[in-house]
Structure 1
Amino acid sequence: MNDLPSFRSEPGTERLTLCALISIGCLLFAAVPALAQADLAGATTKLTLQVATAMLGERCRRVEAPDRASFASVSLHRTFHDDFDAHPLLNARWVSHYAGGAAWPEARYWGGDGSDFRRKTSYNGEQQIYVDPHYGGRETTPLGLDPFKVSDGILSIVASRTPPALKAVLFNNEYVSGILTTQSRFSQKYGYFEIRAKIPVGIGVWPAFWMLADDGGWPPEVDIMEGRGQRPGDIVMTTHWRIPDTQRVERCGFDFQVPDASGVFHDYGVLWQPDRITYFIDRQPVSEIKVPVGFNDPMYMIVNLAMGSKTFEGVGFVDGESPATVAFEIDRISAYQIDER
């Protein structure tokens, strides 16, 4: 979801990148059993998760029918939480555009406040621009466009077709939408990062919750949750890293089926430990990978609703059948740190 050569986890499809890098796909489909929701409605200040203890190989793997005797408990304490009782831009938790960093290779990406380089990921072929009430596009006067709606403790990031009168001002993007990041506000090395959300669907719809290194470099990248808009219930979880000797970017991840994901809130999370990264759905482990090379710096969180993709299978370009308005509903976003033993 960034404006860099980025890999996503489409089965059998290599991502188009600036350097024509070759990726590794370990992408399979797995059904996630229905789990009780009552225990997941809140984000308590303390949390315990179950993780595997078996040795890991060099590739990611699914966690299937786990033998509880081979699992260990990890206790955590909460370090970040937003349950969206208020507009997300009223506090100091979130930034409504990419903030950038010296390690990113495309310096122009962080152009002036009036540019669109901080507000879309061009290499992915996205067709939206991320706005907020203070953004004026090509103009110096704010347009007052607000993609963030809060009602009864639920944040909706709303993507809608760009008003014709504003299209030129907004760099001819087909949609206006929203992004929130904690870059420069909150980052953490190790711990558990989680979103509770409904995953919107439709042609061109691409919701995501993911993490990048706080130093501005890429990769590493952790895609905690991505939705394929044309495949309701298809949730993607992927890890990206770079091989230092060859500079080749690799990835490994899986698709999971959560049939009611668009209509029911579920928890999607990742536990980053010194030796392994474990992905969770409804706090049940579903896949894991040995921590790849390059995961040395704290990471920050990103949540966004993109529209259109030339690189992420199952999204597609927006067309006449794409929804005029679509909402990514989010109940809460939380982070936890691992307790010291």
Structure 2
Amino acid sequence: MKNIVAFLGLLCLSFIAKGQAEIKSKKLIWSDEFDREGLPDSTKWTFETKGNAYGWGNNEKQFYTPAEAGNAVVKGGFLQIVAKKEPSAEHPYTSARLSTSNKFSFTYGRVEVRAKLPEGRGTWPAIWMLGQDIGHTKWPDCGEIDIMEHVGYDPGVLHGTVHTKAYNHVLGTQKGKTTSIVQPFDTFHVYAIDWTPDKIDFLLDGAVYHTFENDHRTTAEWPFDAPEFLLLNVAVGGNWGGKMGIDDLVFPATMWVDYVRVYQGE
């Protein structure tokens, strides 16, 4: 048993070393290290609230709040996105959804986010991306890349997915895979993608677990040759996150983010 544990440890270290070597060959073009206390940097992040009226298209139960509500703060070197149970019958849950829309978007590169996830049934944290042209091109035609999704009722499973006009959950044709994850609530993990003109690799702690390849047909299958922006959020309930109900005892439920980094280059 000790030999197996040692082998797995060495394997993990080899993945990390390989990932670090790959990063050294790339240029950091944007980041947030969350080293300034207070509200998230308003030059980088926007609090999104416009989808509250319709449950963000997924029957989500949370009400995403503006900055002053305090559901997203930077403290001790970490961004904390906190989903809360509220006494209000109108808005029984609050949370925050941050995006870089119209502040930072990019085409191709590597995204790395070091984060620790909230725990509990009903939580639905996500680290993801949307096409910057979503204001002119409806979803999912704009292209969505889910770097990390996790649902609290299935704690040991991580999801990485893309949604396009041809491949999406409405049609049941979305392209994604899962991988096992150990202690996502107690341990920080690095969630990442490598995005090129030919493919998108999804990585957990430096190891690729899913690849979505460009079949070079049309933008219905591959809309990913245009700028995308970043999003961070903790949803509550919804068609997927609330499939097994919501445990009100888990709140407040927090996603801790150590950093968000975007690299480009060989």
TM-score bin (small chain): 0.7 to 0.9
What is aligned with 1:79? 29
Paired residues of 1:309 and 1:316 also in contact (CA < 8 A)? no
- Does residue 298 of the first structure (1) align with residue 227 of the second (2)? yes
Structure 2 residue runs of 5 or longer lacking an equivalent are 1-7, 215-220
Deviation of the 1:155 alpha carbon: 1.3
Percentage of identical aligned residues: 29
Aligned residues, how many?
Answer: 242
Aligned CA-pair RMSD: 2.9
**TM-score where L is the length of structure 1:** 0.64
Name the structure 1 match of 2:60.
126
Is 2:43 the partner of 1:48?
no
Match in the other structure for 2:201: 278
* 1:232 partner SS: coil
Secondary structure at the residue paired with 2:229?
A: strand
Q: After TM superposition, which residue ranges in structure 1, 4 or more long, deviate above 6 angstroms?
A: none
Residues 36 and 163 from structure 1, CA distance in 2 versus in 1: closer, same or farther, beyond 3 angstroms? farther
**Given that residues 40 and 74 in structure 2 are in contact (C-alpha distance below 8 angstroms), is that contact kept between their aligned partners in structure 1?**
no
Q: In 1, distance between residues paired with 2:13 and 2:117? A: 18
Structure 2 residue corresponding to 1:335, chosen from 242, 245, 262: 262
TM-score normalised to the size of structure 2? Answer: 0.81
Q: Secondary structure at the match of 1:250?
A: coil
Alignment of 1:1-341 (within 5 A): 35-36=12-13, 48=22, 75-86=25-36, 87-97=38-48, 116-117=52-53, 121-133=55-67, 144-164=68-88, 167=89, 172-216=90-134, 217=137, 218-219=139-140, 220-243=143-166, 250-291=173-214, 292-310=221-239, 312=240, 316-319=244-247, 321-339=248-266
CA offsets per residue over residues 97-148 of structure 1, 9 Å max, x none? Answer: 16xxxxxxxxxx67xxxxx34xx74321111011124xxxxxxxxxx42112
Q: Which has the larger radius of gyration?
A: 1
CA 1:314–1:234: 2 relative to 1, 3 Å: farther
* Alpha-carbon distance in 2 for matches of 1:122, 1:314: 14
- For 1:89, give the aligned amino acid: P
Q: Which runs of 5+ in 1 are unaligned?
A: 1-32, 50-73, 99-108, 111-115, 134-143
**2:61 and 2:241 mapped to 1: Cα distance?**
15
Looking at structure 2, the residues matched to 315 and 182 of structure 1 have their Cα atoms a distance apart, in angstroms, of 29
Distance 1:84 1:224, change over 3 A: same
Offset at 1:314?
A: 7.1
Q: Is the 8 A contact 1:231 1:314 kept in 2?
A: no
Deviations along 1:68-110, one digit per CA (max 9) or x if unpaired, are xxxxxx9421111111112353440000116xxxxxxxxxx67
Whole-Å separation in 2 of the counterparts to 1:231 and 1:248:
23
SS in 2 for 1:215: helix
Query: Is contact 2:122–2:241 with CA below 8 Å preserved after alignment?
Result: no
Structure with higher helix content: 2
Distance change (3 Å), C-alpha of 1:338 and 1:326:
same
CA distance 1:96–1:316, change in 2 (3 Å): farther
The aligned amino acid for 1:264 is T
CA deviation digits over 1:18-67, x for unaligned, max 9?
Answer: xxxxxxxxxxxxxxx66349x69xx98xx616xxxxxxxxxxxxxxxxxx
Please tell me whether the aligned partners of residues 242 and 250 of structure 1 are also in contact (alpha carbons under 8 angstroms).
no
The answer to whether the 8 Å contact 1:243/1:249 transfers is no
The CA deviation at 1:199 is 1.6
Specify whether residues 159 and 248 from structure 1 end up closer, same or farther in structure 2 by C-alpha distance, changes over 3 A only. closer
What is the CA-CA distance between 1:313 and the residue it aligns to? 6.0
CA distance in 1, matches of 2:259, 2:65: 21
Query: Does the 8 A contact of 1:195 with 1:269 survive in 2?
Result: yes
